[in-house]
Amino acid sequence: MKLEPKQIAEFKSERQISAARFSHDGSMLAAVGYEPVVRRWQFDGQALTPLPSIEGFHGYSTALAFHPKQPRLFAADSWGQLRCIEDEKTLWQHEAAHDGWLRQIAASPDGSRIATCGKDGFVRVWDAATGKKLAEHQAGEDVYALTMTDSITFGDMRGRLETWDVDLKKKQRSFDASVLYKLDRLQDLGGLRVLLHIDGSKTLLAAGTTPQNGATPQSIPTILFFDTATGKLTKTVTHGTNKEGYVHDLVQHPSGCLMAVTAGTPGSGQLFLLDPAEKEAFHENKKMANCHALALHPDGKHFVVTSTNRDSNGNGKSLTKDGVYKTNTSPLHLFEV
Amino acid sequence: MNPLCTPRDHTFSRRAFLGGGLGLLASPLFAEAMKQRDKQVLFVWLDGGMSQLETWDPKPNTEFGGPFRSIPTSVPGIHFGELMPKLAKQMHKLCVVRSMCTKDNAHSSGVDRIQRGDPKNRGVPYPHFGAGVAKLLGPGTSGLPPYVWIKPGSGGFRAEDAGFLGPKYGSLAFGDGKPPDNLLRHPDISAEQDTARNELRQMLDQRFAKQREKRVVEANASVFDMAEKLMARADIFDTSKLPERDRDRYGRHDLGQHMLVARQMLEAGVRFVKVTSYGWDTHGDHFNSQTTMVPKFDQAFSAILEDLEASGLLKTTLVICLSEFGRTPRINGHVGRDHWPEAWSIAMAGHGVKHGMVVGETDERGTEVKSQPFDIGAAFHTWYQALGIDSHKVEFDNAGQPLPIAHDDMLPIKEALA
């Protein structure tokens, strides 16, 4: 089934958003971004109504995941804090779950455990109910992304992907996504942004970009397809031009199609939909600039894309008409499928 | 000089210093050696614009502060970004000016304006700071080229850096920190043959000089002189014989290895050594870039500060680290910071400047200089005065026209001067 999504509404946000997800029942959207709070909205099928934000994070709020069966939110920040929240109450919290930037959180399918990864090179597994640390693995350099099924698959800055058995504390498989890495002058360019299992975990997707240059990166959004049984790369999909940069978020719709958002040079970026059996996208929407997050509602009929306001860049001090130096923001685009 | 020894044997080397033991520090011999030592400059240029917010002037947990933490330094009350742990331990050697406010937010014009001190327009191109120092302080006793530039990529002689001073004071760039190709005398040519060839060249030069402008002739001759000096000191490019530990300590990346060559050049007595690192113009994926670039800078810059202090050279060497501007507080849609001359930082150490000090202050959001702002002209006055040159009295000579060496209407950053 080839979906044709239509935008039905747009909502404002006060700051920039880097990741967003719906709760298990779809009643709430939560987002993290360039501020030390988690923003939340109530969703009634038509509109997003702001709820009180969760404060007490530091630096940037960087990662979030909802429990798959309960109204619990796991959220983290760039100083290493990890917190479990229900309504506005903190159920448990680790101020230094990682040393510094905690990059991603994934919940196990049954919701009993969560996994985290960070700039400190560690992958850690936590009891979702109590916050007790169950296991940790020194995974390599800065671990950019992870996904959790029965096991954990994670990937670092250099595109080294590994599946790790949590119970046996043992490596199961490695995958070579080093095309997502490049050293340019002093800069290590890590292109990995998202890991996702599809086809009942038979296929692992590693999405991001194939870096070409540092400083002001210009590169083409890329998705690598790996056979999880053999570890072999089976397909590479690139979409867009080298202005469009990175696949920043990637989810699978219940129909099977992949939904991705991209951002690169300010003003560029898009939403595109792809049949995993094909190499070309069957739908693309370029009306939104610099899209960083895609939250799919559990009903499969709605999703939200967060973009960045136009004219987000500029050298020197650009002021508003009132003479204020303002931050950029992330409009939230509500789509209906 | 004994033909069997090299000029290196006559320098006050780090090894000799360490071998001599710390007790030497207190000795009159050491003090005398330091007095006699030529003043030198290490000028570290982070091309493209280093972010002040991730390094020298962190604003953690604020609107534009970014994701990183700040860490305490060796000077109580002063914090750096968490990506510079090694330099944080050396803050007591540094003087950081957090109140730079310059005029140009474009690379194409900004690099030149900053490196030439952005003086009043006199209709002639001003010299880069390195060329100015080369002119005012001369090559020193080492006889080596006075203004060298260690950079990634290609090398060569850059006459344009000298502006109106004339090509003689241009920079000699060593691409990838390597000596020029064919530096050494070809093995088939004997020393006697080489001398004879040079005598012939000098004779032809004299004939050439009669038909040319004096400064062009001087530049031409000085290039040959430089080549001759460098032929005798090819060892200063060779870091392969240094202990592995040293090479690791500076970092195996190009900035680390170039900084190590810079140390050798300073030890050999080069007057002005510029080290350039490219790639700091992070308009996209800024924070991830900082996690890998800033620690490499931290490693290389802190290693050379340690070594210059250990050898005693920090007492006679002015160290400067800067870019053409800082980076915007605002984060663009490509997760980048753009160009920001409005409120940024430079770092200094060594001869003539105070240590363990921060000068100036930006506001809580990092968008304004809260204290007295300083343009690059003030920095030029500061650097010249740190080197003992009265920047208000000493003038350049532009073919008979006296010109100020730094912006006439500006003053040095007094708080920074020792």
B127-144: pLDDT as tens digits: 999 999 999 999 988 889
**Confidence class for position B32, pLDDT limits 50, 70, 90:** low
In a domain, A193, yes or no: no
Closest Cβ opposite residue A186 in set B65, B279, B339? B279
CB A136 within 8 A of CB A130: no
Q: Report the alpha-carbon distance of residue A230 to residue A161 in Å, rounded.
A: 13
Q: What is the pLDDT of residue B230?
A: 77
- Amino acid identity of residue A18, one-letter, is S
C-alpha closest to that of B336 among A64, A105, A325, A34 = A34
Q: C-alpha angle with apex A271: A269 to A275, nearest 5 degrees?
A: 130
In a domain, B381, yes or no: yes
Q: pLDDT (tens digit, 9 = 90+) per residue, A39-84?
A: 999 999 999 999 999 999 999 999 999 999 999 999 999 999 999 9
CB A217 within 8 A of CB A180: no
Among residues of chain B, what percentage have pLDDT more than 90?
Answer: 72
Domain limits at A8?
1-16+239-314+325-337
Rounded average pLDDT over A27-37: 98
B330 and A186 within 8 Å at the Cβ level: the answer is no
CATH number for the domain harbouring residue B338: 3.40.720.10
Mutating which of A14, A187, A261 best tests the B interface, going by the most B Cβ atoms within 10 A?
A187
Rounded average pLDDT over A108-113: 98
Q: What is the pLDDT of residue B34?
A: 52
In a domain, A49, yes or no: no
Q: pLDDT (tens digit, 9 = 90+) per residue, A165-184?
A: 999 999 999 999 999 999 99
pLDDT at residue B23 greater than cutoff 60? no
Q: Report the alpha-carbon distance of residue A55 to residue B414 in Å, rounded.
A: 43
Mutating which of A60, A81, A216 best tests the B interface, going by the most B Cβ atoms within 10 A?
A216
Rounded average pLDDT over B260-285: 97
Q: Across B192-351, where does the E strand assignment appear?
A: 272-277, 317-322, 326-327, 339-340, 344-350
Lowest mean pLDDT among A113-117, A213-217, B220-224: B220-224
Q: What is the CA radius of gyration of chain B?
A: 22
pLDDT at residue B30 greater than cutoff 70? no
Q: Report the alpha-carbon distance of residue B20 to residue A336 in Å, rounded.
A: 78
Q: Report the alpha-carbon distance of residue A207 to residue B96 in Å, rounded.
A: 41
Q: What is B270-287 written as a DSSP string?
A: -SEEEEEE-----SSSHH
Q: pLDDT (tens digit, 9 = 90+) per residue, B374-412?
A: 999 999 999 999 999 999 999 999 989 999 999 999 999
β-sheet bridge partners, residue A21: A30
C-alpha closest to that of B268 among B354, B408, B148 = B148
Does the structure's ipTM exceed the value 0.90?
A: yes
Tokens of A225: 């397809």
Closest Cβ opposite residue A264 in set B289, B334, B339? B334
Q: What is the pLDDT of residue B36?
A: 53
Q: pLDDT (tens digit, 9 = 90+) per residue, A277-302?
A: 999 999 999 999 999 999 999 999 99
In a domain, B361, yes or no: yes
Q: Report the alpha-carbon distance of residue B102 to residue B87 in Å, rounded.
A: 25
Domain limits at B96?
35-178+234-416
What is the phi/psi pair of residue B317, to 5°?
-110, 125
Q: What is the pLDDT of residue B35?
A: 54
Contacts of A289 in chain B (CB under 8 A): 333
In three-state form (DSSP H/G/I as H, E/B as E, the rest C), the secondary structure along chain A is CCCCCEEEEEECCCCCEEEEEECCCCCEEEEEECEEEEEEEEECCCCEEEEEEECCCCCCEEEEEECCCCCEEEEEECCCCEEEEECCEEEEEECCCCCCCEEEEEECCCCCEEEEEECCCEEEEEECCCCCEEEEEECCCCEEEEEECCCEEEEECCCEEEEEECCCCEEEEEEECHHHEEEECCEEEECEEEEEEECCCCEEEEEEECCCCCCCCCCCEEEEEEECCCCCEEEEEECCCCCCCEEEEEEECCCCCEEEEEECCCCCCCEEEECCCCCCEEEEECCCCCCCEEEECCCCCEEEEECCCCCCCCCCCCCCCCCCCCCCCCCEEEEEC
Mutating which of B55, B334, B344 best tests the A interface, going by the most A Cβ atoms within 10 A?
B334
Q: pLDDT (tens digit, 9 = 90+) per residue, A119-141?
A: 999 999 999 999 999 999 999 89
Tokens of A78: 């760039």
Q: How many CB atoms within 10 Å of residue A187? A: 26
CB contact burial B149-162 (16+ within 10 A = b; e otherwise): bbbbeebebbbebb
B17 half-sphere exposure, CB direction, 13 A CA radius: 19
B281 and A313 within 8 Å at the Cβ level: the answer is no
Q: Does B109 touch chain A if contact means CB atoms closer than 8 Å? A: no
In a domain, B7, yes or no: no
Q: What is the pLDDT of residue B37?
A: 66
Q: pLDDT (tens digit, 9 = 90+) per residue, B64-89?
A: 999 999 999 999 999 999 999 999 99
Q: Report the alpha-carbon distance of residue A99 to residue B384 in Å, rounded.
A: 43
Q: Report the alpha-carbon distance of residue B198 to residue A199 in Å, rounded.
A: 77
B336 and A313 within 8 Å at the Cβ level: the answer is yes
Instruction: Name the minimum distance, in Å, from the CA of B229 to any CA of chain A.
Output: 31
Q: What is the pLDDT of residue A128?
A: 98
In a domain, B44, yes or no: yes
β-sheet bridge partners, residue B157: B172
Tokens of B35: 């007095």
Q: Mean pLDDT over all residues of chain A?
A: 97
First to last CA, chain A: 11
Q: pLDDT (tens digit, 9 = 90+) per residue, A153-162?
A: 999 999 999 9
B338 and A314 within 8 Å at the Cβ level: the answer is yes
Rounded average pLDDT over B43-60: 98
Contacts of A290 in chain B (CB under 8 A): 333-334
pLDDT at residue B16 greater than cutoff 60? no
List of residues 6+ apart from B376 with CB closer than 8 A:
B100, B102, B113, B114, B117, B118
B279 and A184 within 8 Å at the Cβ level: the answer is yes
Q: pLDDT (tens digit, 9 = 90+) per residue, B147-206?
A: 999 999 999 889 999 999 998 899 999 999 988 777 667 788 888 888 888 888 888 888
Q: Provide the pairing of β-strand B344-350 with B357-359.
A: unpaired
Domains of chain B: total: 1
Domains of chain A: total: 1
In a domain, B222, yes or no: no
Q: Does B49 touch chain A if contact means CB atoms closer than 8 Å? A: no
pLDDT at residue B103 greater than cutoff 70? yes
Q: What is the pLDDT of residue A223?
A: 98
